[in-house]
Structure 1
Amino acid sequence: MKFQAAIFDMDGLLLDTERVCMTIFKQSCAELNIPFLEKVYLSIIGRDAAGIEQVIRDGYGPELDYPTLNAEWRKRYYAVVKHRAIPVKEGVIKLLQWLKSHEIPTAVATSTHKEIAQIKLRLAGLDQYFDNLTTGCEVTQGKPHPDIYLLAAKRLGKRPEHCLAFEDSNNGVRSAVAARMTTYQIPDLVEPTKEVKALGHQIRPSLAAALEELAAP
């Protein structure tokens, strides 16, 4: 094997969460008579809580009552994800089974709060596949900074340059590439920008396509 570990983002990559989350954000905006600004919303994908707040405040302006919007959004979101399995994305199980069969250690590096990430993975039946879970609340700087991927690699006992990273968002890709990992991007709601494409990582339509490439003799 050319790599010694594989580290995965969670929302939008392993789980089809981003559409659920965006729908709930729209509902929260409607409840509070706040316009839904799609461009602003798409810019938060892949960021931690602090980054999300900053982008939304910048995008909506100083008149936004962010604490009220955030509370409504979180209430509705947790009511769903704490009690219902989010659908698993195409190719996830086969890739994880293939890595397990080759004794490649795996980890999740997600901006989501640890308790919620654990619930999501358990309800989806994915927790059994991972040796480690690293979350945004455990690092000083979230994605697009490399800290979360560096910590995940350290916990697996592997050098970052010997790790594969799988991401869907542009912010996540920037994080993984900055950590010097071989990075695969599987775009979800947001297509890679010109600047992100210039990073030179692998862009594939699904994890199934990535597996086909990795398993090739």
Structure 2
Amino acid sequence: MSNSTIAGVIFDMDGCLVDTESVYKIAWRQAFEKYAVAISQEQIDSWLGLGWDIIAQEIDQITDNNKLTLAIRQAREAIFFQMMTENLVHLMPGALEMLDFVKKEQLVVGLASSTFQEKGQRILAHFELTQYFDFIVFGDEVEHRKPAGDIYIKAIEKSGLKKEQLLVFEDSLTGCEAAQKAELQTIWVPEVFSDRLKPHPETICQIVPSMIKGKNELEKLMRK
């Protein structure tokens, strides 16, 4: 193993390791259509990386009916899992190579996801990823989800490492903001690479177009 100060890596799940975000967009659209509720694609797109509590508030403003909001979410979940069963949800390019690499290098490997535990474990099991992680923090384990820093603060505690020894991989600005609040160095792998031109947290040390490039950057950092 390298003499680098990096001793652990924390990954987001949705959109970072698993390409769920593009499927969520389809599932949200179909769920709103099922209940004949109008919503713009722009608003759906803005939910990238956000926890359910924040999204629910926005849907409540549209529906003015919390029961309808929950029904729309339930429909989205059913559509998502049906698509996953049909193998229409995939790992992000380079995700397995990255996970194999960090385990080979004997780094502490963590997951920090706004997704709730029951659903998150189901996704990880489907892709046989659970065994890669030394610790996991799901959204229902903290009071405030991303962009709050709670998830990453808890991840630092679970890692047993100092924050200076950890590196985060995130795909959303929301997630990068959460990592910044925990003062964690982050490699940003934006879903849309043009998003790199947007204002972003100073704790982002690299912006890369794919997890494949992210692995290359990690190797460089470990050689320093």
| Residue in 1 that maps onto 2:158 | 155
1:106 corresponds to? 109
CA distance in 1, matches of 2:85, 2:160: 31
**2:209 matched residue in structure 1:** 205
In structure 2, C-alpha distance between the alignment counterparts of 1:32 and 1:193, rounded to whole Å: 37
Q: Indicate yes or no: 2:5 matched with 1:2.
A: yes
Deviation at 1:82, TM superposition (A): 6.6
Instruction: Report if aligned partners of 1:169, 1:192 keep a CA contact under 8 Å in 2.
Output: no
2:96 pairs with 1:93? yes
State which of 62, 72, 82 in structure 1 corresponds to 2:64: 62
Whole-Å separation in 1 of the counterparts to 2:86 and 2:115: 16
> CA offset at residue 67 of structure 1?
2.6
User: Match for residue 19 of structure 2?
Assistant: 16
Q: Is the Cα–Cα contact under 8 Å of residues 82 and 119 in structure 1 kept in the other structure?
A: no
Q: Does 1:74 align with 2:72?
A: no
RMSD: 2.2
Are residue 40 (structure 1) and residue 43 (structure 2) matched? yes
SS, match of residue 137 in structure 2: strand
Structure 2 distance, partners of 1:115, 1:158, is: 26
State the distance in 2 between where 1:187 and 1:130 align: 22
Contact 1:43-1:55 at 8 Å conserved across structures? no
Amino acid at match of 1:48: G
Indicate the residue corresponding to 2:176 in structure 1.
Answer: 173
CA deviation map 1:138-193 (0-9, x unaligned):
00110001110111121110122321001101110100111111101111158356
- After superposition, the Cα gap between the structure-2 partners of 1:93 and 1:71, relative to the gap in structure 1 and judged at 3 Å, is closer
* Contact kept in structure 1, 2:177 and 2:201, CA below 8 Å: no
The gaps in structure 1 that reach 5 residues or longer are none
Aligned counterparts of 1:165 and 1:29: Cα–Cα separation in 2: 33
What TM-score comes out, normalization by structure 2 length?
0.87
CA distance change for structure 1 residues 194 and 15 in 2, over 3 Å: closer, same or farther? same
Percent of aligned pairs with the same residue? 27
Within 1, Cα distance between the matches of 2:197 and 2:136? 28
CA distance in structure 1 between the aligned counterparts of 2:83 and 2:130, rounded to whole angstroms: 19
Q: How many residues align?
A: 216
Match of 1:140 in 2: 143
Indicate whether 1:214 and 2:218 are aligned.
Answer: yes
What's the counterpart of residue 198 of structure 2?
Answer: 194
> Could you tell me the TM-score, scaled by structure 1's length?
0.89
* CA distance in structure 2 between the aligned counterparts of 1:79 and 1:87, rounded to whole angstroms: 13
How far apart, in 2, do the equivalents of 1:177 and 1:140 lie? Answer: 18
Contact 1:86 1:124 in 2 (8 A): no
Tell me the amino acid that sits aligned with residue 12 of structure 1: G
- Judged with a 3 Å threshold, the aligned counterparts in structure 2 of structure 1 residues 45 and 120 are, in CA distance, closer, same or farther, namely same
Q: Counterpart amino acid of 2:64? A: P
Structure 2 residue runs of 5 or longer lacking an equivalent are: none
Task: Report the equivalent of 2:119.
Answer: 116
